[in-house]
Amino acid sequence: MNGKPVAVITGASRGIGRATAIALAGEGFDIAAIARSVNSEGMEILGPEVEKRGAQFFPVGLDISCTVCQKEVVSNILDRYGRIDFLVNNAGVAPLQRKDLLEMTEESYDRVMNINLRGPVFFAQKVAREMIWMKSQIDGYKPAIIFITSISAELSSPNRTEYCVSKAGLSMASNVFADRLAKEGIRVFEVRPGILMTDMTIKLTDKYTKLINEGFVPQRRWGMPEDVGKAVASIARGDWDYSTGMVFEISGGLNLHSM
């Protein structure tokens, strides 16, 4: 069995997932990095960044929406390391096209919900079952699960309804997992990013930069994936061991309600 703790990150090839994997490698975790393709440019970049921090890098291919594929992936990670200490459920997509609520299609809705909500919920379920068993097998084992949601869990965007609904659902999933797993000694947290500079927002850079400069974001700057990585690393260090169910909003103050 691997002596070091192991972190599993979905959607690890870019953006928040990549920054989180690098941050956790710096905290002493070996990294099982999940992406749809292990041969992508993003994974090729991530591997050396993880390894130069003294961590093992295990690239894993998985489309998170394929729930029947998840069991084999969990088994492969356990076969390699013998443990999973930390799960970051990060994989997610935006609608292929932003359309008004009244024009939203069932196909778009189903795609976003399967990747952003259904897949992560059942992947967390499978990992949680293994974590419960490992509690009795590993001395000092302190497992945790993180759901990466979005400010869109609460803020409405009628031109991407399916995304908002998926993140609101994932926020409640985090709450329910925290409730159910507290007695099992498994901590669960929600990390809720705001407007971040990622591939998902690159086409809207001008729009969001204008809003940010006008004060829509109180701290008046773009969020970066590394901002989320730092928050996840803090949780992984055990800084919030008595705070299961906590929501960490990394949004530059968008959580403020001011007049």
Q: Domain ranges in the chain? A: 6-250
pLDDT value at position 3? 83
User: What is the CATH superfamily name and number for domain 6-250?
Assistant: NAD(P)-binding Rossmann-like Domain (3.40.50.720)
Residue at token pair 């509690």: 135
Give the C-alpha distances (Å, rounded to integers) separating 120 from 39, 113, 196, 211: 22, 10, 21, 31
pLDDT value at position 216? 92
Q: Name the band, by pLDDT with cuts 50, 70 and 90, for residue 81.
A: very high
Neighbours of 6 (CB within 10 A): 23
Residue at token pair 């998840």: 70
pLDDT digits (tens, 9 = 90+) for 33-47: 999 999 999 999 999
Q: Tell me the C-alpha distance between 9 and 16, whole Å.
A: 10
pLDDT digits (tens, 9 = 90+) for 130-142: 999 999 999 999 9
**146-152 average pLDDT score:** 97
**145-149 average pLDDT score:** 98
Amino acid 222 reads: W
- Residue 7's DSSP bridge partners are 31, 86
pLDDT value at position 127? 98
Tally the residues of the chain.
Answer: 259
Q: Tell me the C-alpha distance between 149 and 87, whole Å.
A: 14
Report the chain's terminal Cα–Cα distance, integer Å.
55
Check 81, 109, 163, 242 and give the catalytic one.
163
pLDDT digits (tens, 9 = 90+) for 199-257: 888 888 999 899 999 999 999 999 999 999 999 999 999 999 999 999 999 999 999 98
Question: What sign for the dihedral angle of Cα 231, 146, 248, 4?
Answer: negative
Q: Tell me the C-alpha distance between 44 and 35, whole Å.
A: 12
pLDDT value at position 1? 64
Annotation says 163 is catalytic: yes
Mean pLDDT value across the chain:
96
Q: Tell me the C-alpha distance between 198 and 14, whole Å.
A: 8
